[in-house]
């Protein structure tokens, strides 16, 4: 396997890992107002992702950085085409991050209600817009042989991209509900179960539809076929286990999100960005890659640092594995 293919796979893994991990953060942020009747319940929901949300977001930064270093032409063309959409994504991510920090700075109901609203809006917009951008990779964007975007903002809203964005948003909501059912107790857990029973229907149906459409647009390789089967199996498992088996339901949403994003990249290969206006301008893995020296250096760095990141994140999840509850733990008790 050549280094450009290795790094295309690594980029795909980073994007997939971002949605699997940050997906439930987005879901919790979007649902926290609906799973709690009181401010205390909403704080329980937010505290469930408090120790991990910023670490999960690092996967997005690493995904973008790897594209910049390994495939500069891909990075420059795609990010330039999505310039206005990226501004909206950054605003959504910034507002969302600020909401986590500022919401608890004042006990006033209006203050907390305002930051709860911004947290909800940011958590909905981010996966929706990022999903549209990922879908556009395969659906195609208008750009010329020089990599210059020749379309308008409307051209970013491709039908396939919109379906992928809505699908990832629905899966993130279901993923967040399954996470809350695993990590909270009491009213928040009960509300998460109730929401999941409703969310499983659109999430499962959209996942199956998006996977089938991805397969139809792709080169229909054996890997694409395998990921189509995995996505459908995950969607069926989500429908089957939602509300009854918390661990299985969480695994189902994680697998479905992972297969949906990975399927996009599997269907995209050997291209990295399709041109809808000039087929000859389509960027390929081999044509958009950096030089061998740069890829060799990056490979060594990734081989050393990536396992460290995985170990640290795994340790973080283990430390904060207990359920978050609204009932304070008294001194000397461990429950």
Q: What is the 3-state secondary structure (H, E, C) of 256-278?
A: HHHHHHHHHHHHHCCEEECECCC
Q: Note the pLDDT of residue 20.
A: 95
Dist. CA 169–CA 121, nearest whole Å = 12
151-179 residues labelled b (16+ CB within 10 A) or e (exposed): eeeebbebebbbbbbbbbbbbbbbbbbbb
**Is residue 241 a contact partner of residue 193, using CB atoms and an 8 Å limit?**
no
Show the low-confidence residues of the chain (pLDDT under 50). 329-335
In a domain, 53, yes or no: yes
Whether 313 is covered by a domain: the verdict is yes
The answer to whether 257 touches 172, Cβ cutoff 8 Å, is yes
What CATH number corresponds to the domain at position 77? 1.20.1630
CA atoms within 13 A on the CB side of 158: 21
Q: Which residues pair with 283 in a beta bridge?
A: 273
pLDDT score recorded for residue 331: 47
Cα distance between residue 259 and residue 225, in whole Å:
11
Whether 331 is covered by a domain: the verdict is no
What are residue 150's phi and psi, to 5 degrees? -110, 10
The pLDDT tens digits of the residues spanning 305-318 come to 899 989 988 998 88
Q: Torsion over CA of 260, 262, 263 and 266, rounded to 10 degrees? A: 170
Pairing of strands 283-284, 271-273: antiparallel
Is 323 within a domain? no
Domain that holds residue 48: 3-317
Asked if residues 118 and 93 have their Cβ atoms less than 8 Å apart, the reply is no
User: What is the model's pLDDT at position 236?
Assistant: 84
Number of compact structural domains in the chain: 1
Tell me what pLDDT residue 130 has.
Answer: 96
Place of tokens 């891909």: 74
Tokens encoding 199: 């969310």
Give the up-direction half-sphere exposure of residue 62: CA atoms within 13 A in the CB hemisphere: 23
Torsion of CA 80, 83, 89, 90, to 10 degrees: 90
What's the pLDDT score for residue 243?
A: 62
- The reply to whether 332 falls in a domain is no
Length of the chain: 335
Residue 281 falls inside a structural domain: yes
247 class by beta-carbon count within 10 Å (0-12 exposed, 13-18 middle, 19+ buried): exposed
pLDDT tens for 141-170 read 999 988 889 988 899 999 999 999 999 999
Q: Give the span between the Cα atoms of 10 and 14, in whole angstroms.
A: 6
Answer yes or no: is 325 within a domain.
no
Q: What is the pLDDT of residue 333?
A: 41
In a domain, 309, yes or no: yes
pLDDT at 328: 55
pLDDT digits 0-9 by tens, 24-74: 999 999 999 999 888 888 999 999 998 888 889 999 999 999 999 999 999
Question: Per the confidence metrics, is the pTM higher than 0.85?
Answer: yes
């Amino acid at each position: 396997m050549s280094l450009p293919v290795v790094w295309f796979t690594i980029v795909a893994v980073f994007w997939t890992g971002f949605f699997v991990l940050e997906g439930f953060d987005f879901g919790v942020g979007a649902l926290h107002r609906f799973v709690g009747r009181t401010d205390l319940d909403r704080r329980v929901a937010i505290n469930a992702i408090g120790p991990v949300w910023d670490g999960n977001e690092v996967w997005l930064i690493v995904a973008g950085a790897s594209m910049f270093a390994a495939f500069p032409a891909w990075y420059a063309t795609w990010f330039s085409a999505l310039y206005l959409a990226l501004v909206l994504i950054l605003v959504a991510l910034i507002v969302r991050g600020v909401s986590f920090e500022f919401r608890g700075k004042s006990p006033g109901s209006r203050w907390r209600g305002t930051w709860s609203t911004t947290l909800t809006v940011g958590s909905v917009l981010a996966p929706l817009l990022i999903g549209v951008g990922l879908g556009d990779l395969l659906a195609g964007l208008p750009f010329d042989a020089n990599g210059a975007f020749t379309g308008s903002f409307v051209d970013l809203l491709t039908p396939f991209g919109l379906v992928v964005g809505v699908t990832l948003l629905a899966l993130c909501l279901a993923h967040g509900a399954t996470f809350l059912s695993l990590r909270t107790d009491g009213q928040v857990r009960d509300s998460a179960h109730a929401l999941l029973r409703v969310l499983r229907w659109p999430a499962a149906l959209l996942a199956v539809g998006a996977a089938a459409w991805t397969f139809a647009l792709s080169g229909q390789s054996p890997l694409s076929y395998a990921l189509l089967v995995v996505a459908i199996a995950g969607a069926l498992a989500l429908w089957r286990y939602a509300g009854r088996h918390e661990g299985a339901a969480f695994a189902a949403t994680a697998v479905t999100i992972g297969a949906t994003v990975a399927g996009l990249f599997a269907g995209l290969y050997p291209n990295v960005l399709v041109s809808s206006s000039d087929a000859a301008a389509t960027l390929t893995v081999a044509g958009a890659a950096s030089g061998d020296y740069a890829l060799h250096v990056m490979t060594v760095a990734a081989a050393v640092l990536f396992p460290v990141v995985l170990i640290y994140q795994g340790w973080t999840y283990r430390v904060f594995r207990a359920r978050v509850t609204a009932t304070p733990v008294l001194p000397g008790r461990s429950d």
